[in-house]
Amino acid sequence: MKLKLNEIYSKVFLFLLLAVNVNIGQWNFKLGTSQSYSNNPFNSPIPISSMISSFELGIERDFTSIGIGYYGNYSSFHNINERNYYWHQIGVWHSTENIISGLYFEQRTNTADYEYYDYTNYNAYIKYQLLLDEINIFSNAAVSLTDYSFLNDLDNILLNGGLILNRSFETKTTLIGGLNYNYKNYFSTNLNDYELVGDSLWTSDSKAFTSQINYFGRIAQSLTETTGLAVFYSKQNIIGGTANYIRNLEYVYGDESQYFDDPVSYEGYTIGTQLTQVLPEQIMLRLLYSVEEKDYPSQGIYLDFETFEEAIIRHDKQTNLNLSLTKYFYIGEEMQRTIMLSLSFQSTDNNSNSYWYNFKSNQTNLNFSYQF
């Protein structure tokens, strides 16, 4: 029988209290909360505003080269209680001087009204770091299995591999570049089931897999002792398959990116810049602005609330503005305890030729965390 969200959160909180009272010195803990206001938390063309409260916990322990951890987050939408959900993750990892590998289990549980968003994810990964002629080389590979409790046709395996090169110079310039490859395959998708996918699938062109290559670059420059500026660019290309499709929108839409804005499902580019400034009292200010254009080869568009046109592919252009102020406080002689306070603002403007993805949203966040 599925537990209610408040029952899950109560059990996890009880576990945390017990852990604190038993061998607390051998564990690392993180407690956090954020209070937010968003005028469109679900990225909908028909916005509904809400206050959002999130409560976060993290528990870790290192055994020489082996580590374990548990992380959880409960999100409550004050005006839309049926959208509340709990997300948690359990992980184990092994690290050496140059290699870290690990496994983790991730799960999201929603209220009964939105239980079709429930999913479980299993992930295995390995990362390798090498210093060669003053160039830091990072490589990684991962395999991820995702199982949806109710949307079984979306069950999939994702294979990922990547390479990052990082080089710093005496001019206080840092260059970062790399590429990623993604391959995603759906296990049991019935591409001819109208009741499953509605009229939004190009059955003649769609396949149950998609593959994509991404490459990116970043230039960061210290302008003064307290000021830094970075410029970045990334490009995504689909090189095989067009597995992504839109489910009937009477069921799901908007913020659930694993259904409608899966990074593996589109191609396009992102360009942006970030300014970092250290203010008095070691307050960190970050200002980021980016522009992103995306094409979805396997998606048609919605001309209005329900009229679908499959001959035109979906195209989005999104601008993002992020501003944040962050301050850390270190407690104790060895500064082993940390308090973090931050205030942030995010504005998103997504212009799409498809009705359901044409939206604007603004969100203000106040965050607090205590690590000990």
Where residue 327 sits, what CATH number does that domain have? 2.40.160.40
Is residue 20 in a domain?
Answer: no
The whole domain housing 270 covers 88-371
Is residue 64 in a domain?
Answer: no
pLDDT of residue 362: 97
Is residue 45 in a domain?
Answer: no
Is residue 3 in a domain?
Answer: no
pLDDT of residue 260: 60
Q: Which pTM does this prediction carry?
A: 0.82
**Amino acid identity at 6:** N
Q: Among candidates 91, 20, 25, 88, which has minimal Cα distance to 57? A: 88
228-237: pLDDT as tens digits? 999 999 999 9
123-163: pLDDT as tens digits? 999 999 999 888 999 999 999 999 988 877 778 899 999 99
CA angle 182, 249, 48 (to 5 degrees): 100
pLDDT of residue 75: 95
Name the β-bridge partners of 128: 99, 139
Can you say how many angstroms the Cα of residue 367 is from the centroid of all Cα atoms in its chain? Answer: 18
Distance between CA atoms of residues 316 and 330, nearest Å: 43
Is residue 32 in a domain?
Answer: no
β pairing state of 283-296 and 156-168: unpaired
Distance between CA atoms of residues 17 and 148, nearest Å: 31
Task: Put residue 334 in one of left, alpha, beta given phi > 0 → left and psi -120 to 50 → alpha.
Answer: alpha
Q: How many domains does the chain have?
A: 1
CA angle 9, 11, 15 (to 5 degrees): 115
29-85: pLDDT as tens digits? 999 999 999 999 989 899 999 999 999 999 999 888 899 999 999 999 998 999 999
Is residue 57 in a domain?
Answer: no
Q: Among candidates 123, 116, 121, which has minimal Cα distance to 153? A: 116
Helix, strand, coil percentages in the chain from 3-state DSSP, rounded to 5: 15, 60, 25
Is residue 339 in a domain?
Answer: yes
Question: How many CB atoms are closer than 10 A to CB 334?
Answer: 7
Is residue 66 in a domain?
Answer: no
pLDDT of residue 228: 96
Cβ pair 68, 61 in contact under 8 A: yes
Helices and strands: H and E segment counts in the chain: 3, 18
